[in-house]
């Protein structure tokens, strides 16, 4: 690779852990090395959360029913997930990356974008910097990752999945357009089925077809995200890294009400509104929580109680339902000045995923509904919120400052 100039105008890496949860199990229990394993929610979990490469080789996939997985792979070993362990390792990995290149965006529990541009000279070249990142991830966790390096987020993410596990794929920015030319548009992160159908209707199936489509067609249909898609397909995704949001320790929403509000109906309306906002904010960060604080302030003091949901959730309806049940405990008809709902124990939702739930289909359905709602809210700006008062009161050390997963462009644009 000696023909690579050592300085790139922009250099972005995407680090993706290989079969993360399953790899942690194999790392901690060496007898599992080389074995087909499936991680499930406890030993009663009925869906595969993650499987090892040995299991994948036999057709086992994330989200698959365990029963079906066993039919494909009779020697499959079931492992109860250990979310706290995975979260701890994830944090160590992110910190390790941060010490090599501080400009990063934690995209999910096992993925991060890194802007190598400002530190490429420090390490000699973007490729050397990426190598160092890969080494530091291994040193911090004992785990292998795949890494993609290119000039923009979308191409870097595409590159990272080309060689797995233990991949190291470089697509220099000046080659991106050609490398993507024959790639189906829906292979790119952020171009979902719906967008894919729209593009197909306009004759765009492969990234290379995009140069024939005027950008205005996408802009008219999707606004700025549409413009982004046009550039993405040509290897020039302009999207910056989202490094500004601190991983929230608590997520809350409060609102001042008309002084001395005594109407139960008004309080319920505010309550519902606050629950919607907290739910949306949790989902925006891809967090979920189990315990919430519901408070009402009278002129002199806060009345409040902890509200515990039956399970970790980011569903505003569930949050509202349980808060509503507490209203009579908290409030005896006093005049109210202010309302507050705060998630007390948010954690990355990727730890949990749909398959942990007792009723995965229902939960998936709710999540799809919520995600559709979030998309609409984001498009029309209703949730262009200033940060919640509590959001920035984080005890998290700065080294793990980046957002876990900023909104918007993970599954859909
Ligand atoms: Mg992964």
Band of residue 247 on the pLDDT scale cut at 50, 70, 90: very low
CA of 319 to the centre of ligand 1 (A): 30
Average pLDDT over residues 185-211: 95
CA-CA distance, 255 to 340, in Å (whole number)?
A: 7
Q: If we measure between CA atoms, which residue out of 264, 272, 390, 366 comes closest to residue 314? A: 366
**Residue 265 belongs to a domain:** yes
**Residue 60 belongs to a domain:** no
In this model, does residue 355 exceed pLDDT 60? no
CA of 112 to the centre of ligand 1 (A): 10
Same domain, 261 and 390: yes
Q: If we measure between CA atoms, which residue out of 58, 92, 97 comes closest to residue 75? A: 58
Bridge partners of 16? 111, 146
Tokens of 173: 């920015």
Same domain, 258 and 385: yes
Band of residue 217 on the pLDDT scale cut at 50, 70, 90: very high
CA of 262 to the centre of ligand 1 (A): 51
Same domain, 186 and 295: no
Give the per-residue pLDDT at 399. Answer: 24
Q: How many domains, the chain? A: 2
Same domain, 261 and 360: yes
CA-CA distance, 246 to 283, in Å (whole number)?
A: 15
Strands 77-80 and 347-348: unpaired
Band of residue 3 on the pLDDT scale cut at 50, 70, 90: low
List of residues 6+ apart from 356 with CB closer than 8 A: 41, 45, 49, 81
Average pLDDT over residues 340-351: 77
The single residue listed with the structure tokens 């923009």 is 152
Same domain, 261 and 223: no
Active site residue 25: no
**Residue 146 belongs to a domain:** no
In this model, does residue 105 exceed pLDDT 90? no
CA of 111 to the centre of ligand 1 (A): 6
Dihedral of CA 323/326/331/333: which sign? positive
Give the per-residue pLDDT at 380. Answer: 35
Give the per-residue pLDDT at 47. Answer: 87
**Residue 377 belongs to a domain:** yes
124-150: pLDDT as tens digits: 899 999 999 999 999 999 999 999 999
Catalytic residue among 25, 54, 105, 111: 111
CA-CA distance, 97 to 243, in Å (whole number)?
A: 13
**Domain of 210, in residue numbers:** 181-232
Same domain, 269 and 323: yes
The domain that holds 381 is classified in CATH as 3.30.1490.100
CA of 272 to the centre of ligand 1 (A): 36
CA of 115 to the centre of ligand 1 (A): 19
Among 232, 264, 299, identify where a domain stops.
232
Same domain, 207 and 304: no
CA-CA distance, 85 to 160, in Å (whole number)?
A: 25
Least confident of 25-34, 63-72, 169-178, 368-377: 368-377
Band of residue 410 on the pLDDT scale cut at 50, 70, 90: very low
CA of 15 to the centre of ligand 1 (A): 8
Give the per-residue pLDDT at 370. Answer: 58
Same domain, 204 and 257: no
Band of residue 346 on the pLDDT scale cut at 50, 70, 90: confident
In this model, does residue 382 exceed pLDDT 60? no
CA of 18 to the centre of ligand 1 (A): 5
Least confident of 36-50, 244-258, 283-297: 244-258
Same domain, 376 and 273: yes
Band of residue 45 on the pLDDT scale cut at 50, 70, 90: confident
Tokens of 93: 């990995």
List of residues 6+ apart from 105 with CB closer than 8 A: 112, 113, 114, 241, 242, 243, 402, 403, 406
DSSP 206: B
Pick 98 or 52 by higher pLDDT: 52
Q: What is the 3-state secondary structure (H, E, C) of 337-392?
A: EEEEEEECCCEEHHHCCHHHCCCHHHHHHHHHHHHHHHHHHHHHCCCCCCCCCCCC
CA-CA distance, 184 to 190, in Å (whole number)?
A: 13
Among 198, 232, 266, identify where a domain stops.
232
CA of 165 to the centre of ligand 1 (A): 9
**Residue 126 belongs to a domain:** no
**Residue 59 belongs to a domain:** no
**Residue 324 belongs to a domain:** yes
CA of 275 to the centre of ligand 1 (A): 32
For residue 112, give the H/E element and its range: strand 111-115
Region of 228 (left: φ > 0; alpha: ψ -120 to 50; beta: rest) is: alpha
The domain that holds 216 is classified in CATH as 1.10.150.20
The single residue listed with the structure tokens 């390490």 is 123
In this model, does residue 411 exceed pLDDT 80? no
CA of 17 to the centre of ligand 1 (A): 4
The single residue listed with the structure tokens 């904010």 is 281
CA of 384 to the centre of ligand 1 (A): 30
**Residue 401 belongs to a domain:** no
pLDDT > 90: percent of the chain:
58
Same domain, 268 and 366: yes
In this model, does residue 409 exceed pLDDT 50? no
Q: If we measure between CA atoms, which residue out of 271, 261, 321, 322 comes closest to residue 295? A: 271
Among 200, 232, 264, identify where a domain stops.
232
CA of 146 to the centre of ligand 1 (A): 8
Pick 94 or 323 by higher pLDDT: 323
CA of 251 to the centre of ligand 1 (A): 26
Strands 168-170 and 145-150: parallel
CA of 20 to the centre of ligand 1 (A): 6
Band of residue 297 on the pLDDT scale cut at 50, 70, 90: confident
List of residues 6+ apart from 205 with CB closer than 8 A: 184, 185, 199
Same domain, 266 and 329: yes
């Amino acid at each position: 690779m000696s023909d690579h100039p050592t300085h790139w105008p922009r250099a972005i890496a995407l680090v993706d852990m290989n079969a993360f949860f399953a790899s942690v199990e194999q790392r901690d229990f060496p007898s599992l090395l080389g074995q087909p394993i499936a991680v499930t929610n406890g030993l009663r979990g009925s869906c595969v959360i993650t499987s090892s490469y040995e299991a994948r080789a036999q057709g086992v996939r994330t989200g698959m029913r365990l029963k079906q997985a066993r039919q494909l792979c009779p020697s499959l070993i079931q492992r109860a997930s250990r979310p706290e362990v995975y979260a701890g390792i994830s944090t160590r990995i992110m910190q390790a990356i941060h010490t090599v290149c501080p400009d990063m965006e934690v995209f999910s529990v096992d993925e991060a974008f890194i802007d190598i541009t400002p530190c490429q000279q420090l390490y000699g070249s973007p490729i050397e910097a990426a190598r160092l990142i890969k080494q530091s991830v291994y040193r911090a966790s004992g785990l292998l990752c795949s890494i993609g390096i290119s000039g923009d987020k979308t191409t870097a993410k595409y590159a990272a999945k080309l060689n797995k596990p233990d991949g190291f794929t470089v697509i220099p920015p000046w080659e991106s357009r050609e490398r993507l030319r024959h790639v189906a548009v829906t292979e790119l992160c952020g171009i979902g089925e719906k967008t894919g159908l729209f593009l197909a209707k306009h004759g765009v199936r492969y990234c290379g077809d995009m140069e024939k489509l005027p950008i205005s067609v996408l802009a008219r249909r999707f606004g700025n995200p549409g413009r982004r898609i046009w550039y993405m397909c040509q290897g020039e995704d302009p999207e910056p890294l989202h490094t500004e949001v601190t991983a929230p320790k608590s997520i809350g929403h409060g609102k001042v009400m008309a002084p001395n509000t005594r109407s139960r109906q008004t309080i319920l309306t505010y309550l519902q509104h606050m629950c919607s906002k907290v739910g949306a904010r949790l989902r925006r960060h891809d967090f979920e929580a189990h315990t919430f604080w519901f408070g009402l302030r009278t002129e002199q003091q806060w009345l409040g109680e902890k509200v515990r949901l039956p399970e970790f959730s980011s569903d505003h309806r569930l949050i509202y339902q349980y808060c509503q049940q507490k209203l009579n405990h908290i409030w005896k008809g006093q005049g109210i000045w202010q309302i507050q709902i705060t998630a007390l124990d948010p954690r990355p939702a990727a730890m949990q995923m749909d398959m942990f739930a007792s009723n995965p289909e229902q939960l998936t359905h709710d999540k799809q509904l919520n995600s559709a709602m979030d998309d609409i809210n984001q498009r029309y700006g209703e949730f262009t919120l200033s940060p919640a008062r509590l959001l920035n009161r984080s005890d998290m050390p700065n080294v793990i400052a980046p957002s876990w997963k900023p909104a918007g462009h993970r599954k859909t644009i």
